[in-house]
Amino acid sequence: MKTIKKPKDILLFSKKMHLAGKTIGLVPTMGCLHEGHLSLVREAKKRSGIVIVSIFVNPTQFGPNEDYNHYPKTLKKDKALLNKLNIDLLFTPSVKDMYPEGFSSFIKVEGVSGKLCGHSRPGHFRGVTTIVAKLFNIVSPDYAFFGEKDYQQQLIIKKMVKDLNLPVKIISQPTIRESDGTAKSSRNKYLSAKQREAAPVLYQSLLLGKELAKKKEKNVRKILAKLRAFINKERLVKLDYLSIVDPKTLQELKTVKNSGLIILAAYLGKTRLIDNILIKSR
């Protein structure tokens, strides 16, 4: 596996690969890789001739009081994991190369970026769409792979690709979980032992919501009240938001008809975790 740091070198590499008739799959990450990231890499390997993984902790998607300066960095371990999967190329650009002095252009997807995580983390999705668009321009992937754990993120990226006619197909993949149901996340590392023990209540609440909606409870207000009561039993967990929304538009639902998405964010101490589950009643 080759590691390239300079955007101009990747541009050249991708051009050569395309000229040789190869398809390129890109898996953008912030590193501290776990099985969730690796599942995206495996899917990329199935679909594309060349697999490029990027590791870049993107400063513009973090708010001023967020964890940018503490975000876990485990590059050596990440490289070993990627080597085992036999990917073609690792792209690890510097902040200076991605955001040179005077940088002032951003991409914002209106509407869906303002809800849920976008409401709690103003500017977050503007940072995400900007870096993802930059990566697309540098790598020119045919396919790019994103996890459904970050449901709103993959929806916004799909919208950006459609709205801006970007020549890339976005493939989203299911959430990979720990054995207790907790969604794998680089941020799980921040949790104390007690917080880690409390974390499964989040996925359990999603399962409970899905079960209620599938049985007979269609009233969203009633379902959410039950889920809030369930989560609040865990003293260490403080909900940021909990909603049932239309999976395509993220509009809040009043009743669950054919489908819905239960989506939440919660704090355990200073650590903010997100999760979601799709409900299909037919």
Which residues would be at the binding site for ligand AMP (CB under 6 A)? 29-30, 36-37, 39-40, 146-147, 149-150, 173, 175-176, 183-186
- Using Cβ positions, the residue closest to ligand AMP within the complex turns out to be 147
Q: How far is the CB of 67 from ligand AMP (least distance, A)?
A: 12
Q: How far is the CB of 37 from ligand AMP (least distance, A)?
A: 5
Out of 37, 70, 119, 124, pick the active-site residue: 37
- Please, which residue, 15 or 162, has the CB nearer to ligand AMP? 162
DSSP the chain: -EEE--HHHHHHHHHHHHHTT--EEEEEE-SS--HHHHHHHHHHHHH-SEEEEEE---GGGS-TTSSGGG----HHHHHHHHHHTT-SEEE---HHHHS-TT-------TTGGGSHHHHHSTTHHHHHHHHHHHHHHHH--SEEEEEGGGHHHHHHHHHHHHHTT-S-EEEEEPPPB-TTSPBP-GGGGG--HHHHHHTHHHHHHHHHHHHHHHHT--BHHHHHHHHHHHHHTSTTEEEEEEEEE-TTT-PBPSB--SEEEEEEEEEETTEEEEEEEEEE--
In whole angstroms, give the CA distance from residue 53 to residue 137. 15
Q: How far is the CB of 173 from ligand AMP (least distance, A)?
A: 6
From residue 138, give the alpha-carbon distance in Å to each of 16, 33, 274. Answer: 13, 22, 29
- Please, which residue, 140 or 173, has the CB nearer to ligand AMP? 173
37 labelled catalytic: yes
Q: How far is the CB of 222 from ligand AMP (least distance, A)?
A: 29
Structure tokens at 175: 């959430």
In whole angstroms, give the CA distance from residue 93 to residue 138. 11
Q: How far is the CB of 33 from ligand AMP (least distance, A)?
A: 8
Q: How far is the CB of 154 from ligand AMP (least distance, A)?
A: 7
Instruction: Show which residues are catalytic.
Output: 37
